[in-house]
């Protein structure tokens, strides 16, 4: 399967006031293996220019070097997203149109129309992160994690789910027993953290956490430090950072998280 290709928009619909679902078609999508929580990199063209794909094979490092070698004024902006749903040759991606200043991906999604073209790298099975095995799995995240949680829920029946969204209008139909938390103007992540603190979790539970990075960090600290969950039983990803773009350099806390993730990964276990 070609890991990189162009994607053409075939449909755009608002599924909630702040979520736009965009359907894409493109070469190679029909060869994608199915698995839940498929992450991909989307490449957004600079204003007024077509999207330019790196000329490289499927090796991720060579692909990234070729990406960086594109002259700055032609280089597409790269952002991470999740496949929300798919058919044989299309994928749907849900873009959150968040409050506050929009970055290039959000601005693009707000204006997207049928026929628009982006680039993609992935989804790449090498980055597949299966849910930790346990009798109960806590899934917790904000609206950006909703696409991943929706696909994970299609595969598990032992999940306790908490999703924080801006308000009731942002809820989406999901299978299973989902506890929706409405921010309603409260600080981002505060309702999620409070609900997880109060949740009954059996000893030996595992967790999957995603969303705003400082909230994910606080959730993980609580689960390990105060609830005794094993570090290796928590899969976590900071999806976005307050006041920072995805192009900004990692902070010291981001680097510490990345190092811990590597330590806890199955490949390193026992080393």
Ligand X SMILES: Cc1cc2nc3c(=O)[nH]c(=O)nc-3n(C[C@H](O)[C@H](O)[C@H](O)COP(=O)(O)OP(=O)(O)OC[C@H]3O[C@@H](n4cnc5c(N)ncnc54)[C@H](O)[C@@H]3O)c2cc1C
- Closest to ligand X by CB, 124 or 138: 124
Torsion (CA) 6, 8, 14, 15 in degrees, nearest 10: -70
CB of 90 to ligand X, least distance (A): 16
- Of the pair 80, 136, the CB lying nearest ligand X is at 80
Minimal distance, residue 231 CB to ligand X, in Å: 20
Residue 137 neighbours by CB distance under 10 Å: 22
List of residues contacting ligand X (CB under 6 A)? 39, 79-82, 94-96, 98, 100-106, 144, 147, 237, 239-246
- What is the spatial distance between Cα 203 and Cα 200, in angstroms, rounded to a whole number? 10
The residue among 101 and 225 lying less far from ligand X, judged by its C-beta, is 101
For the bound state, the minimum distance from the C-beta of residue 181 to ligand X, rounded and expressed in Å, comes to 15
Identity of the residue, 112 or 201, whose beta carbon is nearer to ligand X in the bound complex: 112
Query: Which residue number has the CB closest to ligand X?
Result: 103
Beta bridge partners of 7: 118
d(CA 200, CA 205): 10
To the nearest whole angstrom, how small is the minimum distance from the Cβ of residue 157 to ligand X? 23
Closest CA to 241 of 263, 265, 210: 210
Q: Which is nearer to ligand X, 143 or 205 (CB)?
A: 143
258: left (phi over 0), alpha (psi -120 to 50) or beta: alpha
Whole-number minimum distance, CB 61 to ligand X, in Å? 19
């Amino acid at each position: 399967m070609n890991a990189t290709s162009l994607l053409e928009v075939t449909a755009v619909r608002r599924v909630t006031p702040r979520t736009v679902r965009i359907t894409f078609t493109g070469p190679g999508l029909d060869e994608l293996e199915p698995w839940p929580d498929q992450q991909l990199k989307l490449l957004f063209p600079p204003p007024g220019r077509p999207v330019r794909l790196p000329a490289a094979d499927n090796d991720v490092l060579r692909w990234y070097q070729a990406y960086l070698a594109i002259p700055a004024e032609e280089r597409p902006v790269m952002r991470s997203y999740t496949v929300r749903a798919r058919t044989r040759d299309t994928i749907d991606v849900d873009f959150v149109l968040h409050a506050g200043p929009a970055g290039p991906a959000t601005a693009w999604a707000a204006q997207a129309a049928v026929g628009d073209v982006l680039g993609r790298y992935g989804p790449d099975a090498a980055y597949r992160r299966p849910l930790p095995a346990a009798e109960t799995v806590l899934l917790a995240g904000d609206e950006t994690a909703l696409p991943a949680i929706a696909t994970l829920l299609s595969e598990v029946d032992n999940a306790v789910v908490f999703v924080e969204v801006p308000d009731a209008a942002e809820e989406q139909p999901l299978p299973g027993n989902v506890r929706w938390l409405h921010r309603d103007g409260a600080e981002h992540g505060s309702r999620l953290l409070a609900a997880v603190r109060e949740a009954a979790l059996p000893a030996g539970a595992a967790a999957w956490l995603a969303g705003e990075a400082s909230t994910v960090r606080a959730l993980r600290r609580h689960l390990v430090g105060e609830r005794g969950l094993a570090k290796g039983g928590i899969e976590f990803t900071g999806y976005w950072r307050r006041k920072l773009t995805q192009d900004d350099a990692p902070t010291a806390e981001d680097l510490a998280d990345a190092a811990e993730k590597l330590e806890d990964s199955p490949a390193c276990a026992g080393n």
